Structures are given as structure tokens and as C-alpha cells.
Amino acid sequence: MTPVVADFLIPVGKIAAVILYPMVMVVVMIWLERRVVALMQGRLGPNRVGFQGVLQPVADAVKLFFKENIMQRQADKFLFNISPVLVMFSSLLAFCFIPLGEPIRIGSYTLTLWIAESPVGLLIILGLSSISVFGVIFGGWASNSKYPLMGALRSVVQVLSYEIPIGLTVLTVAFIARSMDLVEIVRRQESSGVWYGFLMPVSFVVFWISAVAETNRAPFDLPEAESELVAGYHTEYSGMKFAYFYMAEYAHMVLVSSLVVILFFGGWLPPFPSVKALSFLHVVPGFIWYLVKIMFFLYLYVWIRATFPRYRFDSLIRLVWKWLIPLSLVNFLVVALVRYLL
Amino acid sequence: MAFREIDLNMGPQHPSTHGVLRLKLAVDNEVVLRVVPVIGYLHRGMEKLWENLTYTQVVPLTDRLDYIAALSNNLGYVLAVEKLAGIEVPRRARHIRVVLAELQRLASHLAWLGFMANDIGAMSVLLYGFEAREDVLDIFEEYCGARLTVHGIRIGGVPHDLDGALVARIRTVIDGIPKRLAEIRTLLDENRIWKGRTVGVGVIEAGDAVDYGLTGPSLRASGVPWDIRKDIPYSSYDEFDFEVPLGRNGDVYDRYFVRLEEIYQSIRIVRQALDGLPAGEISAKVPRVLKVPPGEVFHTIETPKGVLGFFVKSNGTDKPERVKMKSPSFINLQSLEHMCKGNLFSDVVGILGSLDIVLGEIDK
């Protein structure tokens, strides 16, 4: 392989892929959500544009692209414009650290399916996901309007509270894997022969609940509760800026699902990687297993949304401070103790 | 630093103000301090309009008051005029009216269930409720051709007879509704989130409820047994056996339960009315140009929303001199501030949903 290809074309291709991949997933997710929720509710959902309506999100994006960008006169121009970018940027940047599969060997060249492998990848992703909340806060505040402001306020409290259990549960994974490197965590699950989700079910459940809350999804969709706050923090946004918020939300969901799969369900590993009788499952490329698992968790998001009513603000906070944080603390201590003794 | 008290304007364009209601809220962070409803965005001058129409022409306009339960409005007005004109309605017509009115109650409560659940965030229930309501509307369509603004009751009787095929269809539909409801209830009844949003929220004590003039299921949820169908029977409600479900705490959850229970009671009434459908005329002989002797009358009925009263004053011509309406939604809305004070902002939509108001009836 020539140096030009290896040093230039492949990195550029990877960078393009890391932007395209979340976008494609977002489009699929938007379509999946609207279709699945519709079918659960006895409706049809979008089924006109393209096969079974798969191109509906594209049509919506085109529509939003041509819509007028409206900004309130009293809005803070800089923050108003920067916040959708901030949200989108942090969601997309995090995908650089998400491994999509095992490295592929092409001759002497090893193609890694991630852009950056960092020994603290997990921390970076958590950090980036916290940055996206700044976009929400700035957006809500800069709109200079009351519903967005209330949405932003709710968002601050919610995301800050739910980051604590997320951090504590992520730590248990790092303890067991003895690494914060996402690729390494998957490899450890392969060598130990058990997915951490089954090893530490409490960690997984707490992480998943907190992750749903952090992505502002039903039943924790308080910052954008439609029947209360109209659209919450992005009420005043229109056109492409709104589309940024909208896409970032779905990209965030894809990111969180990827994280759950990597931390708790073996990333690109097929089911029961250590069982010899099931070794034929290795025929299916790792990337496909990975996608299947992500799709399952994305489906779970949709399923939860179609089932539950919305939490109220106080019970949401009570849930995290009275239940999830103590639970994750105990869980953390137990895992630490077990790790120390073994 | 304490959060500044802010005035929040909710509506008239807001996803959950059920039409064009506007609420001026004063909130301290999320806690509601004051609620001032602003109404009139749907005012069409109905009462003045009616003074220029004949008695018969008024009936289709009453459809547009409470458009979720149009038949009940028809019935309220028609009964008042009949009382004033001294028209004796045949027994079969009275039975058919009860069947229609109770089906309308079913449709209204099912729609309400969907709206309220949607306000609280259970979006699927909206569709499930509407799916069940659709069956009832189909019956109306078969009966008189319209689904929403039905104009299904005429002065002196009803416009169409209930034939065998339609009776059979009504039976299948009302047999199917409990099953649909059971499905919906698995999503809500014991759901922790749902209970957290409804139990102990928007409480109104029995005494306060009576003072505010609250009527209908919202009043009965506070434990006051006041149902016009039972206490001042009209049409042929006195011939049927049914219970008046009562709540205990007067919170949103009780209002939810009372309405659910009323759905089962309505089904019971419809069954009895269909079983004992007497033979005979479906309409009394009413002159083409109905001239009502001078006088005035006030008649109340129990609609799905509460007690609906019509005051009709006649001057001996074919047009009413004055028709005044006591609309249940309008009066029930008064108690909103009492229920919301001190609760969280999120609860306002739930409480408003639990009151089951229709703006067409408030603004007239």
C-alpha cells in the first residue's frame, strides 16, 4: 500500500465515514421511530416517500433546509447561533472514539475501524456528552423566551443529576476491564468470555436509565416536554438550526446505544464468543453484530417512548437522588470489593 | 438568589390547552402561584344568533357548542323547548335518545381519556382512546350521516329509527369497548409514573367543589353524589338501573377513575335501553312552524362534561326571545386556579386535562 493511500486517503475516508455513519444512523432512527411508534399506536406512519417511507427524514431535512431561519430580535445572537453547532459538534466528535469493529487486515496494512484510540476514550466521550448540555442551556437562555428558558433550566438539573450515576456505573466497567480504552474494554470482554452486562446487571440497568434521561428522551423528556413546554429549549429555533438540534438528539441516542453495546454487550463480538459450538457465529462480520445490538437499544428507546407517561420534574430528581445514586454507589463498592478480593 | 417570579403565557396556541384557551400563569421556577384563564377566542355569539332563528333552526347550532359531545347539547336544548311547548315525546323516542346520549358519553369520555393521557405524556393512549371512539362515531354516521356535529335529536323525537341492523352493531361496539379499555388500563392504572402525576394532584375538597359550582364527573370525583340523570331524571333515565361512581379524594386520579367507571355504566344503560326498546312512534306530531306559547323554562341535563342547562324564553312567535346556556365547561374552568395553586407547572396541563373542558362550549 502506498504511503499516499495509507497516510492520506484512508484517514480522510475515515473522517468522512465518521460524519456519514452517524448521519445515516440518524436518518434510519428517525424513520424507525416514526414508523414503529405509529405501528404500536395502530397508525401507519410515514409510508409515502421511498420504500415504506424510508426517505421521509431526507424529505424533512430538505424542507428544513429551505425554511426561513427566524431569530427573535432580543435573542443573544452569538449564543443563539453557536448552540446548535455546539450540540451537533459534541455529538459527532464523540463518534471519533467509538470503535465500529475489529481492525481489518488488508495485506500488510491494518485498517482500524476507529479514528482515535485513546487510553481515556471513555472519559472523553463522557466529557463531550456533557458539553452538549451547554448547547441546550445556551440555546434555551439565548432565545430570550420563557418556554425555552424553563426547558433549559430543567435540562441543567436533569443532566447534571444523571451524570453522577453514569459516572459511577462507568467506573465499575473500568474497574473490571482495568482500562478506559473502549477497544480494550471489548477485548477484555472477549477474553473473559462474559459480557459485562451479564456480569454487572445493576450497572447496566442504572446506566441505561440514566442514559435515557441524559438524552432527554421519554419518559424523561422534560426539557422538551411537548404538552408542557411546547418544544422546550428549541422552541424558538427554525430551519436548519432546529434540524441541528433534532439530528443531534438522535445522534446522541445512537452514541449512547453504541456506548451501552461496547461497555455492557461486547461491542462487535458475536453472542457467547467463548463457546466453541457457537463459533460459526463468527462468520457474520463483527460490524453487523454491532449494528444489530445498537438497533436493539434504539428500538428500546422507541418502545419506552410509546409506553410510558412523562415523569414530573420532582419525581425525576427524586428518582435519581434517592434511588439511582445510592444504588450505583452500593454497586460501585460491591464491584470494587469483589475486584480487590479476586 | 431566589428565582424571579415570571409570568408565563400559556396559549391560545399551545399543544395542550384543548383549543384556544389562554392561561396567564405566574410561576416561581416551576411552582404555580396564580392561574388566570383568558377566554373568548372562539366566541361566535351563539346566544344572540339563536334569537334570530326559529326553534328548529337552533338545534344544529347546538352541535357546535361542545363538539366532542354534540348530541348531549342537542338533547339539552330540545328538552327545554319541549318542556316549554308542552310536547309529549313518545316512549320509543325517549329510549333512542338515551341510547344516543349514552353513546355520546362513551365517545366523549374516550376522547377525554386520550387527550388527558397525552397531556401527561402517554402518547399512545391518545390513539387507543381515539380508536375506540371511532367505533362509536361510526354508529352515529350510520344513524344520521354525521360523525361529529350530528344533529341527531329533533324537537318532538328523533329523526331516524334504530333498526335491527344498527341495534346489532351498537351491541358489538359496546361489547368491544371494555376490552379496549382493559388494554388501556394496563398502561395507566398501576403505572408508577401515571400515579405520580395524578394521585394527590389538583385536589379539590367536596365543599370547595360545590362552592365553585363544579359539576359532572369532576364533582363526583370529590365524593358529591350529584347526577341529574339520577336526581332529576329526564328522558327515560328513571327506567334504567345504573350507579353513579364516586371518587374520594377529588384529585386527578379520582377524576380519571370516575370517568372510566362512567364508561362502564354508560354501556350498562345502553344495553338496558336496547333490550327494552319499546315499539311505537319515534317522534311526536310537531307543527312545521313551531310556535311556542309565551313563557320561560330552564331545563338541565347531565352531559359528559357536567350539568348543562338551557334557559328558553318565548314570546309566542316561532323564534325564541332569549336562549341562555349554563355551560358546564365554563363553570368547571373556574376551579382551575384553586386546583393548580402550589402545584408544579407540569401539573397544570394534567389538571386542565382532568377537568375535560371544551372551548366551543366555554366561549359559545
Cβ of B187 under 8 Å from any chain A Cβ?
Answer: yes
Q: How confident is residue B30, by pLDDT bands cut at 50, 70 and 90?
A: confident
The residue ranking higher by pLDDT, B79 or B6, is B79
Distance from CA of A42 to the nearest CA of B (A): 7
**Domain map of chain A by residue range?**
3-341
Task: Give the helix/strand (H/E) hosting B297.
Answer: strand B295-303
Pairs of residues, one from chain A and one from chain B, whose beta carbons lie less than 8 Å apart: 82
C-alpha pair distances (Å), B215 with each of B53, B158, B219: 30, 27, 5
**A217 close contact with B: CB closer than 8 A:** no
Looking at the complex, does the CB of residue B113 fall below 8 Å from at least one CB of chain A? Answer: no
Across B180-203, b (16+ Cβ under 10 Å) vs e yields: bbeebbebbeebebbebbbeebbb
* Average of per-residue pLDDT across B145-162: 87
In chain B, the residue whose alpha carbon lies closest to the alpha carbon of A41 is: B124
**Number of helices (H), then strands (E), in chain A:** 14, 2
Quick: pLDDT tens for B274-305: 888 888 888 888 888 888 888 899 999 999 98
Contact status of A48 with chain B (Cβ, < 8 Å) = no
- Give the whole-number percent of chain B exceeding pLDDT 90: 6
Q: Which residue of A has its CA nearest to B15?
A: A227
Q: Are B151 and A62 in contact (CB under 8 A)?
A: no
Strand order in the sheet with B5-10: B5-10, B22-28, B31-38
Alpha-carbon span B339 to A324, nearest angstrom: 32
Nearest CB to B344: which of A43, A221, A312?
A312
A95-104, B68-77, B192-201: least confidently modelled range: A95-104
> Would you call A37 an interface residue with chain B, using a CB distance cutoff of 8 Å?
yes
Interface residue A152 vs chain B (CB under 8 A): no
Average pLDDT of the residues of chain B: 87
Q: A228 — contact with chain B (CB < 8 Å)?
A: yes
Taking CA atoms, A310 is separated from A67, A260, A322, B127, B182, in Å, by 31, 23, 19, 16, 21
Nearest CA in chain A to B8: A146
Residue A121 has pLDDT above 50, yes or no: yes
User: Closest partner residue to B117 among A153, A309, A313, by Cβ?
Assistant: A309
For residue B311, the model assigns a pLDDT of 92
Dihedral of CA A287/A289/A290/A296: which sign?
positive
Mean pLDDT of chain A: 83
Pairwise CA distance, residues A249 & A244, whole Å: 8
Kindly report the number of other CB atoms within 10 A of residue B162's CB atom: 21
Residue B284 carries which DSSP code? -
Is A293 buried (19+), middle (13-18) or exposed (0-12) by CB count in 10 A? buried
Share of chain B above pLDDT 70, in %: 99
Contact by Cβ (8 Å): A294, A261: yes
pLDDT at res. B1: 43
CB contact under 8 A, B193 and A307: no
B323 touches A: beta carbon within 8 Å? no
Nearest Cα residue in chain A from B7:
A146
Does residue A230 or residue B343 have the better pLDDT? B343
Q: Quick check: A226 and B15 CB within 8 A?
A: yes
Is the Cβ pair A307, B15 closer than 8 Å?
A: no
What does DSSP say about strands B306-314 and B320-326: parallel, antiparallel, or unpaired?
Answer: antiparallel
- The answer to whether B123 faces chain A, any CB pair under 8 Å, is yes
CB A232 within 8 A of CB A223: yes
B238 touches chain A (CB under 8 A): no
Residue found under cell 386535562:
B353
Looking at the complex, does the CB of residue B14 fall below 8 Å from at least one CB of chain A? yes
Residue A308 pLDDT > 50: yes
| Rounded mean pLDDT, B133-161 | 88
pLDDT value at position A273? Answer: 65
| Chain A touched by B26 (CB under 8 Å) | no
Inter-chain touch A41–B127, beta carbons under 8 Å:
yes
pLDDT value at residue B317 = 86
> What gap in Å lies between CA A227 and CA B122, rounded to an integer?
10
| Average pLDDT score over residue span A70-90 | 85
| Residue A35 amino acid letter | R
Which DSSP state fits A143? T
pLDDT of residue B198: 87
A228 with B187: Cβ contact below 8 A = no
Chain A contact present for B28, CB below 8 A: no
**What average pLDDT score do residues A164-183 get?**
86
Q: What is the pLDDT of residues A255-276, one digit of tens each?
A: 888 889 888 888 777 777 666 6
* CB-nearest partner of B122 from A43, A221, A309: A309
| Residues of chain A found within 8 Å of residue B188, distances taken between Cβ atoms | 309
Q: What is the pLDDT of residues B155-205, one digit of tens each?
A: 888 888 888 888 888 999 988 899 888 888 888 888 888 888 888 888 888
Q: How far is CA B280 from CA B87, B161, B170, B361, in A?
A: 16, 10, 20, 34
Does A281 contact chain B (CB < 8 Å)? no
- How confident is the model at residue A149, as a pLDDT? 84
B-chain CB neighbours of A145 within 8 Å are none
Average pLDDT over residues B28-36: 83
Query: DSSP letter at A5?
Result: I
- Cis preceding linkage at B12, omega within 30: yes
Compute the average pLDDT of residues B62-84: 88
Say if residue B2's pLDDT is above 60: no
Distance from CA of A34 to the nearest CA of B (A): 12
Looking at beta carbons, which residues of chain B come within 8 Å of A218?
A: 121, 123
Tell me what the mean pLDDT of segment A68-75 comes to: 81
Question: What's the predicted TM-score (pTM) here?
Answer: 0.86
